[in-house]
Amino acid sequence: MRLDKFLCEMNIGTRSQVKALLKQGLVSVNGQTAVKPDLQINTTVDQVTYRGEVLFYEEFVYYMLNKPAGVVSATEDNHDRTVIDLLREELVTNLVNDIFPVGRLDKDTEGLLLLTNDGDLAHRLLSPRKHVEKTYYVQIEKELSPEDLQALEAGVDIGEDQYTLPARVSVLSEREIRLTITEGKFHQVKRMLRAVDNQVLYLKRLSMGTLVLDETLEKGQFRRLHAAELQKLKEGIGRC
């Protein structure tokens, strides 16, 4: 890979910024100052440093986003701002063009969304066979009766071939619940509440598998997953 491409992918700067940094002698390859943008490097063998810090090449990147309402879970959209636009506004790496959201949250839903270029992990997290747990904080129109709770926990008719799989409900207050489901049907939480003659007023995803939303992230903010978070997430869903 060309050195300037590598530095861009590591989010050091745009191609032209990287060229300037090389000229300033801030980058070295295997201990030698490197000034040529077209120097070929082997990302698995060569050690590249920037301002004395070693840059570790990663093929895959993983970001946790606190999705705000009003933004769509897509890579491109003709009308609305997308979750990838939020990344683009801050990252210069070309890798951003390969990043996509793992599953979808509705435009008005907030909370945890994983963004990555790792298609294999995304596939496994979304596979219906894996039954990955997703937990939501839900504000509802009216209090749930004991029968409603029982129905939601056992499975409800949302107009699909089969009832929803058993869910877990924690009642937080009269009009607030925490709901954990193991499927990802279109508008599933809203349809489940409608099935018990209720309505979702506000929806926020709190977790997906072992990955828990970092509540210090403001709406619209994102951060890289920590190595331990990623490892736990992968372990939680197994190999294939």
3 vs 189, which CB is nearer to ligand URA? 189
Asked if residue 116 binds ligand URA (CB under 6 A), the reply is no
Q: Which of 46, 98, 106, 214 binds ligand URA (CB under 6 A)?
A: 106
Helices (H) and strands (E) in the chain, counts: 7, 13
Asked if residue 203 binds ligand URA (CB under 6 A), the reply is yes
Piece in contact with ligand URA (CB under 6 A), picked from 54-62, 75-83, 104-112, 164-172: 104-112
Task: Given the residues 46, 85, 106, 214, select the one marked as catalytic.
Answer: 106
Q: What is the DSSP letter of 203?
A: E
Task: Kindly state the tokens that stand for 146.
Answer: 């004991």
Under 8 Å between Cβ of 125 and 102 = yes
Mark whether 106 is an active-site residue.
Answer: yes
Residues 9, 11: Cα–Cα separation, whole Å: 5
For residue 104, the minimal CB distance to ligand URA (Å) is 7
Torsion of CA 206, 150, 154, 233, to 10 degrees: 20
Task: Kindly state the tokens that stand for 20.
Answer: 């300037």
Q: Which of 27, 41, 83, 109 binds ligand URA (CB under 6 A)?
A: 109
Buried b (16+ CB within 10 A) or exposed e, 103-141: bbbbeebbbbbbbbbbeebbebbeeeebebebbbbbebe
For residue 191, the minimal CB distance to ligand URA (Å) is 7
For residue 166, the minimal CB distance to ligand URA (Å) is 16
Residue ranges in 136-195 that form contacts with ligand URA under rule CB under 6 A: 187-190
| Residue positions annotated with a catalytic role | 106
Q: Which residues bind ligand URA (CB under 6 A)?
A: 105-106, 109, 187-190, 203
